[in-house]
Structure formats: C-alpha cells, structure tokens
Amino acid sequence: MNRGVVFCGLGALLGAAVASQIVQRVPSLRFPPTMAAPVDQTPIGMRSANPRIASVPPVNLTPEEQANIYVYEQANRSVVNINTRSVHHDAFLMLQSEAQGIGSGSILDKEGHILTNYHVVEDAQQVDVTLASGKTYSAQLVGKDKTDDIAVLKIDAPADDLYPVVWGDSSNLKVGQRVYAIGNPFGWDRTLTTGIVSSLNRSLPSRARHRTMKALIQTDAAMNPGNSGGPLLDTQARVIGMNVAIATQVGQNAGVGFAIPANRIQRMVPVLIAQGKFTRADIGIESVGETPQGLVVFKVTPGGPADRAGLQGFRMVVRQYQRGYTMYEERRIDRDHADMILAVDQQPVQTVEKFLELVEAHQPNEIAHLTILRAGRKMELDVKLGAS
C-alpha cells in the first residue's frame, strides 16, 4: 500500500483556472426537496434585524463546546489567509502559465510579521495577506528556512489591525491532549477543526535535499490543502505548533497531520527576521529514541561531528558459520552497543525537541558537552559541532 506525505498548502499545483473552478464547484446550501426550511419560533419583537445574527445566545453548551468557542474567539483574528501568484515559463514551448496558491499564517507582532510555511510562498512572484477584518495587504518575504519549512513575511498594516498570537510551550505536550487547527482549507477562510495530539517525535523528509524534519507533532485534527502555515493551538488558545503536512493516499485529509513544534519556531523566527536565514549547528546524529532516562542513539552520520567524537549508535554484528558444505551469514543489531545521551551542557534531555534546542543554541564550530551512558558507565564527551 502506498502512502504519501502532502505539504498542505494549495500551491503551484493549482492554476488560476483550476482555483476558480474549486470555488465554482462548491454547491449552494439548500434544504432537500422533502424538507421544509425551519421556522423561526422566536417572537417577532425579539428577532434580530439581521437574520444571520442569533437573537439569543446559545444555551446548554457542553464544556467541550465552550472550550471550542473560546479557542476560536481568542485565536481567530490572529490567523491570516495567504494567496500567492506565480508565473512559470516553458522554454521549450515558448509558453508561460500562471499559477495560484493558498495557505494560512499567523500574526507574530504589531510590526506586521507573518509566520507561514516556506512551501506556501516558495517561487511566488506575488503574495497577498488577508486579515480577519477582510483587508488585504501585499507581503514581502523577509526570512526563510527550507529545512524546517518556515517563512516570515512582512506586511505594512496598521498596528490596530494586527492581533499577535499567544505562544505556548511545545516541550511538555502529551499524547491525547486536545488541540485545534485554524486555517484556510480549500479557500474556506478561518476554518476550525479539532482533534488530539496523536503522537510526538515524528520525522518527515524535508523539502531541503537530504534533510529531515524532526520531532514533529502528529495530530488527527483535520487538515487539507490550504491549512499549511496555520496554527495548532491548545485549549488555552496558545500556539503549540504550525501545521505543515498530511499523510494521505488521496491528497486530502486522512486523519494524520503534522505540525512544527512552537519552541523550535520561536528560536528561529528572531534569526530569520534579523538575518533572512537560519544557520543551525549540526551534531551529526541521524536518529535517536526517547526514554525516561535520556536519548538512545540509533545512528550517527558517518564522518560527522558525533562520529568523530566517538559517539556510538546501534551496531550491525555479522556472524558466519558453516554447515556441511554450505556457508551461512547471520546478521543482528547490537543495541547494547548504543550510547544514551543523558544531558547536553549539564542540562538533562529526555525529548528530541529539548535536545535540538540545546544543540541549536550553539553556533557551528562550538563545543557541545555531552553526558552519556555507555555500557552502564557514565561518561563525558565533547563534540565540535558542524554547520547545517
């Protein structure tokens, strides 16, 4: 069975004509022929002059409904819609075609900085940001990181029209806790979906070649094309992640979505705004496993910083033996050979997110001091970091 990962921005795959057809294909909402429209039983004197506005606030809401409403009302105006336009040239046929894309974003500050995914705005010649007020502004790209699929835009909007998001802490998330996604799926602006944290510490191939997006949040909150760049929120309407991709076989939501942790974004955004790019320190560890004591090293990058410092991962053990005239080869993985990382710079680590945070607090060529456990014995190891 094939399984794919789709970055959930509705980008250059949509031509202008196709984008318009999406809107045209949405059916108008009608009552079935056998069903009469509901009759407003509210006394005439109490009815609202605007029939779209409820005359009486809803009653008997469950605690879950109240939480949903609270999150939406707190975070809705901090979410923006992003529309892009790009022109592609075919040198062979001497033709050019125009493509449109849609995505979502979050307001970072009163200066007009907007957070979204890099793949939402990649190769776009024009980027427009629409606020909850309905006002649209032209945006400029001020910083990008292809590896973690993060981009920061800038719009020239009045401070009074900008409502920055409130940040949460992604380092203490638990599988099963409730989360909310707000975005622009298929162009339906400011749509709320709910779900739970389905898993943590997921990895996906990065859009940057030979790179991996690590320690992602997995959720079953519905995401579809257009949700990319929108916030993933906790029950207090705080941002704990940015929606980035879905796992799917059909290109639409299948209950498996992924988000970039908020703590990583908060580390990177100031650098992206100031420098336009993010150069991260690289320790040369390809994969680890989380345990209550620390991180078990599965694999180090051959010739990388950790390998040169002597850090050990799993080892393949090959044993050959003969039976009669036939030679056999037996392979097994020696897990006892792997080191466990207990701390970085004297700070304990139990999650990949915390480990990356401590490593990326360094600059390339600096020394990261690791405390490790090898064959039951605690050791200290200095690793000279590379650059990514």
Query: Does residue 49 lie within any of the structural domains?
Result: no
User: How many domains does the chain divide into?
Assistant: 2
CATH code for the domain in which residue 218 is found? 2.40.10.120
Predicted confidence at residue 4, as pLDDT, reads 59
Q: Can you give the pLDDT at residue 302?
A: 92
Q: Are residues 218 and 262 in the same domain?
A: yes
Residue 47 included in any domain: no
CATH number at residue 327: 2.30.42.10
- Select from 278, 298, 318 the last residue of a domain: 278
Please identify every residue annotated as catalytic.
119, 149, 228
Asked, for residue 52, whether it belongs to a domain, the answer is no
Asked if residue 239 belongs to a domain, the reply is yes
The separation between the first and the last C-alpha atoms of the chain, rounded to the nearest angstrom, is 34
**Model pTM?**
0.67
State whether 274 and 300 are in the same domain: no
- Encode the chain in three state secondary structure: CCCEEEECCECCCCEHHHHHHHHHHCCCCCCCCCCCCCCCCCCHHHCCCCCCCCCCCCCCCCHHHHHHHHHHHHHHHHEEEEEEEEEEEECCCCEEEEEEEEEEEEECCCCCEEEECHHHHCCCCEEEEECCCCCEEEEEEEEEECCCCEEEEEECCCHHHCCCCCECCCCCCCCCCEEEEEECHHHCCCEEEEEEEEEEEEEEECCCCCCEEEEEEEECCCCCCCCCCCEEECCCCCEEEEEEEEEECCCCCCCCEEEEEHHHHHHHHHHHHHHCCCCCEECCEEEEEECCCCEEEEEECCCCHHHHHCCCCCEEEEEEEEECCEEEEEEEEEHHHCCEEEEECCEECCCHHHHHHHHHCCCCCCEEEEEEEECCEEEEEEEECEEC
| Residues 27, 5: Cα–Cα separation, whole Å | 29
What range defines the domain where residue 309 resides?
281-387
Specify if 351 maps to a domain: yes
Output the pLDDT for position 212.
76
- The pLDDT score that the predictor gives to residue 118 is 94
pLDDT of 86 reads 84
Q: Which of 278, 308, 328 is the last residue of a domain?
A: 278
Q: Residue 317: beta bridge partners?
A: 332
Q: Which pLDDT score, from 0 to 100, does residue 135 have? A: 94
Q: Are strands 231-233 and 239-248 parallel, antiparallel or unpaired?
A: antiparallel
User: Which of 278, 310, 342 is the C-terminal boundary of a domain?
Assistant: 278
Q: What tokens appear for 53 in the block? A: 């506005």
Domain shared by 207 and 105, yes or no? yes
Q: What is the pLDDT along the chain (388 residues), one digit of tens a residue?
A: 445 565 666 544 444 333 333 333 333 333 333 333 344 444 433 333 344 444 455 678 899 999 999 999 999 999 999 999 987 666 565 556 677 888 999 999 999 999 999 999 998 999 999 999 999 999 999 999 998 999 999 999 999 999 999 999 998 899 999 999 999 887 778 899 999 999 998 888 877 665 778 889 999 998 888 889 999 999 999 999 999 887 766 655 567 889 999 999 999 999 999 999 988 888 999 889 889 999 999 999 999 999 999 999 988 778 887 888 888 787 777 788 899 999 999 999 988 878 988 998 888 999 999 999 999 999 999 999 998 7
The answer on 253 and 131 residing in a single domain is yes
Same domain for 362 and 330: yes
